[in-house]
């Protein structure tokens, strides 16, 4: 049976099953659900992990990133990022500091406990990638990188 949709050319497969976007969407849902299960023993959700790891990554050179930079790197919107960063701060994993040059800007510092948990979360994410993508992960990453590059902050 063909995937021909309404108005499709005769004999040319059409429909969602022929769309790479359809498969990408469902693959991303499966990856996220698996990551969520795998992070659960660490007490982290995928959003919490992404924000925590992003704070650590952006702060690796010593300059504290802004809350907005951390949210942008993780893919969280401003409201969600702020809410989850507050939760991570309450857990003692992050510290929010007012920028001395601009009181409206918050700088994010990851605590020693946060660094350790981020390290464990990163290993969990690496293991999850291997679990889901196997040996094709690097090739898939290279295909996805140019598509997603406009969303990743410099």
Give 89 or 19, the one with higher predicted confidence. 89
- Measured at the CA of 111, the angle between CA 110 and CA 116, to 5 degrees, comes to 95
Mean pLDDT, the chain, whole residue set: 91
Instruction: Identify whether the C-beta of residue 85 lies closer than 8 Å to the C-beta of residue 67.
Output: yes
Instruction: Identify whether the C-beta of residue 127 lies closer than 8 Å to the C-beta of residue 38.
Output: yes
pLDDT band at 18 (very low <50, low <70, confident <90, very high): confident
Asked whether the predicted pLDDT for residue 14 surpasses 80, the reply is no
The model's pLDDT over 90-122, given as tens digits with 9 standing for 90+, comes to: 999 999 999 999 999 999 999 999 999 999 999
- Give pLDDT, residue 2: 45
- Give pLDDT, residue 148: 87
Domains along the sequence of the chain with CATH: 50-151 (1.10.10.10)
% of the chain at pLDDT higher than 90 = 77
Task: Record the pTM.
Answer: 0.85
- Give pLDDT, residue 128: 97
Q: Please name the residues in contact with 81: beta carbons below 8 A apart, sequence gap of 6 or more.
A: 51, 67, 68, 70, 71, 74
């Amino acid at each position: 049976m063909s995937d021909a949709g309404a108005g499709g050319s005769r004999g040319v497969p059409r429909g969602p099953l022929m769309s790479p976007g359809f498969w990408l969407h469902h693959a991303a849902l499966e990856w996220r659900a698996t990551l969520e299960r795998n992070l659960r023993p660490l007490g982290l959700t995928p959003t919490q992990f992404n924000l925590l790891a992003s704070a650590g990554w952006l702060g690796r050179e010593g300059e504290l990133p802004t809350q907005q930079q951390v949210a942008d790197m993780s893919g969280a919107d401003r409201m969600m990022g702020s809410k989850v960063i507050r939760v991570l701060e309450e857990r003692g994993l992050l510290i929010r500091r007012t920028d001395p040059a601009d009181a409206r800007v918050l700088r994010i510092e990851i605590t020693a406990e946060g660094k350790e948990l981020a390290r464990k979360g990163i290993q969990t994410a690496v293991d999850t990638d291997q679990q889901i993508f196997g040996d094709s992960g690097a090739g898939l990453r290279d295909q996805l990188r140019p598509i997603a590059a406009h969303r990743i902050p410099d």
